[in-house]
Amino acid sequence: MGDAFTVKDCALIAIATGQLAETLREMRDRLETAPASSIYYHFWGGLLRPRFDDPEFQNDFAIWVRHSLHDKPLAERLALIDPTHFDDLEDLRRELIDVIEERLDESELLPWTKASQRFYFVRSQIVVFDTGRRVHEPGELASLIPHLSVGSIFYHFIDARRRTPTGNDDFTEWIQGFGEEYTRLKKGIAAIDPYFTNLVELREELSCVFEEYRGGKGA
């Protein structure tokens, strides 16, 4: 048995990069040089800040294209990009650029059309807090997860994927040390899509997976 699971909380701090885009061509060019942490922020940061935009579009690039460039076809293509399908942020950056370049090739006017609002590139810095909570065996998580903050869910289930050697969330990574007994639980966690949802729903899904495992184990 390994170490106790240390429950942490976090916040994403938004920091201006000084880069902006007014046209789709400028957006393509800025994406070439924007910090990787900016790509991360504009895909994931919306989960940790109040959202008043169209919920149909999950990332900031799609939202800007839809509401400032008024290009619904491109917005829909960008909205379909799932960052969990890419090994790293550079692969995700390349996909963004490829989708935009494909759209630029479809129209002579679109590269020069000015948006009604500029897109400001923001980079993120994560601030992590130790909550003081410790968990010693996986079954305890079933009682704990419903009471975790959305910041804790973000840190352990989303941000963990760029920190752990295997690209897993922290829960799965920790449970690995408890043997084959928890294979079904790990599969249940792996089936949860962390992107096309919100953190409250993610917490509920995780809670259900752990409760189902705990109930099934006792059956």
Q: What is the mean pLDDT of residues 49-64?
A: 79
Q: What is the pTM of this model?
A: 0.89
Q: Provide the pLDDT for residue 218.
A: 41
Q: Write the pLDDT tens digit of every residue in 11-26.
A: 999 999 999 999 999 9
What amino acid is encoded at 140 in this protein? E
Residue 219 has pLDDT above 60, yes or no: no
Q: What is the mean pLDDT of residues 3-12?
A: 95
DSSP-derived letter for residue 132 is: E
Long-range contacts of 202-207 (CB under 8 A, 24+ apart): 202/153, 202/157, 203/145, 203/146, 203/148, 203/150, 203/153, 204/146, 206/145, 206/153, 206/157, 206/171, 207/142, 207/145, 207/146
Lowest average pLDDT, out of 19-23, 26-30, 51-55, goes to 51-55
